Amino acid sequence: MAPAAKIDLSCALIQIENVSKTFKTPAGDFPALKDINLCFGQAEYASIMGKSGSGKSTLINMITGIDHPSSGTVRVADHDVHHMNESQLADWRGRNLGIVFQFFQLLPMLSVLENTMLPMDFCNQYAPAERENRARLLLDMVGLGAEANKLPAALSGGQQQLAAIARALANDPPLLVADEPTGNLDSRSSTRILDLFDELVSQNKTVIIVTHDSSLAERASRRVLISDGMLIDETMADALPMLGHPQLLRLSQLAVNRSYEPGAILARHDNGKTGLFVITQGQVEALRIFRSGESEVCERLGPGTYFSELELEQDERSVLAFRAVSDVPVEAQWVSHEAFYHFLGESNAAENALRKAATERFGHIHRQVQPRKSFWWRR
Amino acid sequence: MMMTQNLITTPNKLPVAGQAQPDRPLIRLRQVTKNYRTAAGDFPALRGIDLDLYPGELVGVLGKSGAGKTTLVNLISGVDHLTSGEIWVGDTAVHQLNENQAAQWRSRNLGVVYQSFQLMPTLSLLDNVLLPMDFTGLYRGKSSARHALEILRQMELEEHAGKLPSNISGGQQQRVAIARALANDPPVIVADEPTGRLDSITAETIFEIFEGLVHQGRTIIMVTHDASFARRFTRLVWLADGQVVDEPQFQID
């Protein structure tokens, strides 16, 4: 999967800057979010994924204004979410935000139609005479036109969630946030909900889903991983799917940004211990340099791929080198040899996974006589 | 509790505390059947239910998953329509109401509470309780806010009235849902697995609240699959395969 393009902060729909959140508990302070920096653009389809207790729900509550950060700022649709009073916040939320929850949260005494009209009544964005019509259009769109007059309890769980989505769209907000939207649904209903999210993104809506389910997260075009209240580097996560969240988080913290001119060598076997590179921008050529001095390009590596000294040190016939292509500069996240060595020492599981991947790559290099166009280097 | 002072008496309103006639059944089901159409043919969810429920009863509807518990209470609350038979609540033939009549009747006579609370996440607790009042017009303006606060006080949630649901615990959210169900002072409350997402200690507080409400003369019909709650009810209705059955032989204890 291609990683998300760098987002221009000035046009981002959501900007989260230096956000920390600490909960006071009887057992002492619990840091739920630690200095989060993150943005989302218009029409982006993103998932926020993490284990229970990772901070994902706290993070989403910062965006919706349901909870307040201990420090830092959150801007959504040009408003500082946490510098509004309750009534400003309610008004802003009504216009800019649709929220969908795991358990639907439809008002039980109101029909599906009335539930869908409710946010319009609160927000006054649509004239009273338009509201029923608009609600019926939205219900038609989610496939519930025939159920409009029923009460939520008369619908299946999947239908209730579709109704909740119709309600979330009542005031035509640019942003839809869904917290475990399929957590309580069978797989057929889940697919229907996710198809609907695709449709909304194609209509220029930004959709952010929060989930602990990786198969659900895969549907989004961008995956944000959170572990222990901190963000995992997204490119790192894409490049190294064999690693667990805590390991990815550790590597994210160890990595530094590096830039290379076109044609520059990033690493070569006889250049000692080179650490780990994850390419974030540009193209890198993997080169075999033979003892004769000839060289051939084995593969081109793009953003979201990696290489490490584990591959380098295993190539015995020739020198393997990595070079920025001649026409564009390269940006990479680099973990130094010392840091990488230390990281492998900390986690047997990570070392085994990376060595296994390295062996599989190395085997290809040996068998390969002619340069190939295949994507053996990609996962 | 001072709930009864807020009693609104309207012609189609059922009697509550003080006016209850405990000898006369409040809710009567006669040969009630309900079939669901499925791809595999008609599925009989209820097969001829006869039932009399009296004012002030705390009724437990028990049985396994699929026994017809939710279908039964959805018919009593007019959420779903029966296939044949009759359902009377007071002098109202619930099975003959059309959608509009059912909505109006429900809003005055019935409070509902569900497993997942179903509160509006972006509205304060107070606004959540106010919503049904806004829709029925039984209370207006300042008197509605006063009334909502009073019910929240009875649920020991007054100090949280301005908070959003996500900032309180699950047990507190369910108490808000009960407060909302009480907003229009209904004589009947239907609760479908209201303790399903709560721990046992929190579930206990919900039962205590329900006991207080039936003490006022309200009738509560609660669905649960948890047979260990059986002793908490004043009346048990066991369902199996869509029929009322005797208490199962396996003793829970």
pLDDT computed for residue A287 by the predictor: 86
Q: Exposed, middle or buried by CB within 10 Å (0-12, 13-18, 19+), for A167?
A: buried
pLDDT along chain B (253 residues), means of 10: 38 50 86 91 93 96 93 93 95 91 90 92 90 72 87 94 90 95 94 93 94 95 93 95 83 47
CA distance B17 to chain A (A): 23
Chain A hits for B123, CB-CB cut-off 8 Å, are 90
What is the rounded distance in angstroms from the CA atom of residue A282 to the CA atom of residue A328? 6
Tell me the whole-structure pTM to 2 decimals: 0.81
pLDDT computed for residue A297 by the predictor: 87
Which carries the bigger pLDDT value, residue A45 or residue B23? A45
Of A220, A222, A279, nearest to A255 by C-alpha is: A279
Put simply, the answer to whether A93 touches B122 (Cβ < 8 Å) is: yes
Helix (H) or strand (E) holding B231: none
Per-residue pLDDT of A83-102, as tens digits, reads 998 888 888 988 899 999 88
pLDDT computed for residue B11 by the predictor: 38
Chain B hits for A66, CB-CB cut-off 8 Å, are 121-122, 164, 166-167
Residue A223 three-state SS: strand
Helices (H), chain A: 56-64, 86-96, 112-123, 128-141, 157-168, 187-202, 214-217, 234-239, 245-254, 309-312, 337-346, 348-367
pLDDT computed for residue A271 by the predictor: 64
Per-residue pLDDT of A243-302, as tens digits, reads 999 999 999 999 999 999 999 999 987 766 889 999 999 999 988 888 777 888 888 899
Q: How many residues does chain B have?
A: 253
What is the rounded distance in angstroms from the CA atom of residue A238 to the CA atom of residue A169? 31
**Domain A9-230 shares a fold with domain A250-367:** no
pLDDT above 50: residue A7: no
**Using the 8-state DSSP alphabet, how is residue A32 labeled?**
E
For residues A328 and A344, is the Cβ–Cβ distance under 8 A?
Answer: no
pLDDT computed for residue A115 by the predictor: 94
Q: What is the mean pLDDT of chain A?
A: 87
Per-residue pLDDT of A221-233, as tens digits, reads 999 999 999 999 9
Which carries the bigger pLDDT value, residue A35 or residue B17? A35
CA distance B253 to chain A (A): 31
3-state helix, strand, coil in chain A (%, to 5): 40, 30, 35
**Lookup: tokens for B234:** 């004043």
Write the class of the CATH domain A9-230.
alpha beta
Identify the structural domains of chain B with CATH numbers, from first to last: 3-8+58-78+110-245 (3.40.50.300)
pLDDT computed for residue B142 by the predictor: 76
Structure ipTM: 0.80
Interface residue ranges in chain A relative to chain B, Cβ cutoff 8 Å: 61, 64, 66-67, 86, 90, 93-94, 99, 101, 103-111, 114, 118, 149, 151-154
The values of phi and psi at residue A155, to 5°, are -105, 160
pLDDT above 70: residue A376: no
What is the rounded distance in angstroms from the CA atom of residue A304 to the CA atom of residue B16? 68
Residue ranges of domains in chain A: 9-230, 250-367
B9's CB contacts (< 8 A; 6+ apart) are: none
Give the pLDDT mean for A8-31. Answer: 85
* CATH domain A250-367 topology: Jelly Rolls (2.60.120)
| Complete DSSP assignment for B3-58 | GGGG----TTPPP-TTT--TTS-SEEEEEEEEEEEETTEEEEEEEEEEEEE-TT-E
